[in-house]
Amino acid sequence: MLFYLNALLVFTLDQFFKFLVHRSMYFGQSIPLLNEVVRLTYVRNTGAAFSLFVGFSPYLAAVGVLVTVFVIYYHFRVPANNYLMQFGLSCLLGGSIGNLTDRLVRHYVIDYIDITIWPVFNFADLMINLGVFLILLNYLRSPEEES
């Protein structure tokens, strides 16, 4: 149950932040937040991470569906007390569904976190990366560390 609650929280926060950006900013607008290092920049991404595969939105949506199905399937294969893996999978699920929702509803993903030295991204991207990191970390831990 906690798995789905966390995925729902990630999805909800992602969609809320995107809604705020979409309603409060105009496309292309950039607002400095931390000494020009971090900016809030409204970008519409029709590709994948870092604007790769622009124009392949239907295929990216299909990949999003496959990732969602795989994560839910895999969630049932992982012991419930493996909290690191379960949390990582739930972050991956919530982020994937957040970006998938954008692709299906808007035909683009709203990105807004701009750290100037990196392509603009969003909360869902952050949670997907955190999820992948935690899953990899889980596999790298020694068996004695697992509960």
Q: What are phi and psi of 44, to 5 degrees?
A: -110, 115
Catalytic residue among 14, 102, 111, 114: 111
State residue 130 phi and psi, 5-degree precision.
-60, -45
Which among 100, 119, 139 is positioned nearest to 10, based on CA atoms?
100
Would residue 111 show up in a list of annotated catalytic residues for this protein?
yes
**Which of 98, 129, 111 is closest to 40 using CA atoms?**
111
Alpha helices for 2-142 (secondary structure H)? 2-24, 57-77, 83-105, 123-140
Catalytic site residue from 14, 102, 114, 125: 125
Bridge partners (DSSP) listed for residue 125: none
Catalytic-residue membership of 125: yes
Q: Which residue numbers are catalytic?
A: 111, 125
